[in-house]
Amino acid sequence: MTQHIHSEHLKNLPEALAAQLTSIMQSDEFTGYFSATQYQSLLSLSNMTDTEFKLALLPIAATRAYCGISNFHVGAIAEGSSGNVYFGANIEIPGVQLNQTVHAEQSAISHAWMHGEDGIKNITINHTPCGHCRQFMNELNNVDQLSIQLPNRPAYKLADLLPDSFGPKDLDISSRLMDSQRHEYQFTTDDLAQIKAIQALNQSHAPYTQNHSGVSLQTQAGDIFAGSYAENAAFNPSLPPLQVAINLLLLAGEKLEHITSAVLVENANGSMSHLAETQSTLEAINPDITLEYLSL
Ligand SMILES: [Zn+2]
């Protein structure tokens, strides 16, 4: 999926860097992140420090925002433990209630998580994280090491931004978001959309409700984007699996209008369900999207 890159974001960058950045981002394989090798190559062409370069990339990440309600473009860049570097941007869906919004920090972190990362080293954001995002990040497995960088500020730790925090330990929960353990739900099928949704369920983080769940979305072009549920100790900042899948689809340069079908799969014995919200959000995007529901 070819992505366009605005020339205004390239004009202050060294020529060789702008050329390589354009080449990577306009290739069909680019889905919104740089492999560690690509990133190090770009960084060496930038003549900047790692922090300076990530700050320079933020305006490009922010162009990925889908923010038809606020028109407020937030960009985030998360580096996973592999060294891969992931874009994130805020998502608002017109017609859908605001609590279904995805914030840029949630976008970059869940993007990295869906690519198999088991931790975030640092996150760079063009606006100060809101309280919701501070709480969302407090669920991460390596929260004490996480570095948070904003323009014109020193690097923060989450404890600087969220002192005296409430988190999983207050509910006696030991698992954390991005822990690498997988659930072992089984369902025999050769339908790729179902398989991807079940893989997403097996990666989900739902220690408070046991609603292990995943969503896959298929597009007109036949691509499948899958998202896992990311639950939070404070409940409200939980990120539903549909949003995690929509986020991957938008960051890859696809359009919501191109979704043709969806699969939601969830644990039948969880203490809540995503079915009603998934149906209503998909309905707002396009009433013709078919939703298949599996309860395991
Ligand atoms: Zn936020």
Query: 252 alpha carbon to ligand 1 midpoint, in Å?
Result: 21
Cα separation, 113 vs 231, in Å, equals 13
Is residue 52 among the annotated active site residues? Answer: no
Give me the pLDDT at residue 246, please.
98
Instruction: Show the tokens assigned to 175.
Output: 């698992």
pLDDT at 36 over 70: yes
pLDDT digits (tens, 9 = 90+) for 178-188: 999 899 999 99
Concatenate the DSSP letters of all residues of 127-192 into one string.
Answer: SPPPHHHHHHHTTBTTTTT-EEE-TTS--B-HHHHSTT---GGGGT----BT-------------H
Its sign, for the CA torsion 105, 108, 110, 116, is negative
The strand ranges marked E within 42-154 are: 66-67, 75-80, 85-89, 91-92, 120-125, 147-149
pLDDT digits over 72-105, tens only? Answer: 999 999 999 999 999 999 999 999 999 999 999 9
Distance 132 CA to ligand 1 centre (A): 5
Residue range(s) in the chain whose domain bears CATH number 3.40.140.10: 31-171, 192-295
Ligand 1 centroid to residue 128 C-alpha, Å:
8
Pick the more confident residue, 11 or 232. Answer: 232
Which one of the listed residues 105, 117, 254, 266 is annotated catalytic? 105
Q: Could you report how far apart the first and last alpha carbons of the chain are, in Å?
A: 33
CA of 60 to the centre of ligand 1 (A): 18
DSSP string, 246-269: HHHHHHTT--GGGEEEEEEEE-TT
pLDDT tens figures, 12-25: 889 999 999 999 99
For the chain, give the percent of residues with pLDDT over 70: 99
Angle separating helix axes 192-203 and 241-251, nearest 10 degrees: 110
Which has the closest alpha carbon to 239: 144, 111, 122? 111
Q: How far is the CA of 138 from the centre of ligand 1 (A)?
A: 13
Local confidence band at 1 (pLDDT 50, 70, 90 cut-offs) = low
In CATH, what class is 31-171? alpha beta
Fold of 192-295: Cytidine Deaminase; domain 2 (3.40.140)
Q: Among residues 210, 223, 211, which one has the least CA distance to residue 275?
A: 211
The C-alpha torsion from 186 through 260 and 111 to 164, rounded to 10°, is -80
- Residue 247, number of CB atoms within 10 A of its CB: 27
- Over residues 40-82, the pLDDT tens digits come to 999 999 999 999 999 999 999 999 999 999 999 999 999 999 9
Cα–Cα distance measured from residue 94 to residue 295, given in angstroms and rounded to the nearest whole number:
29
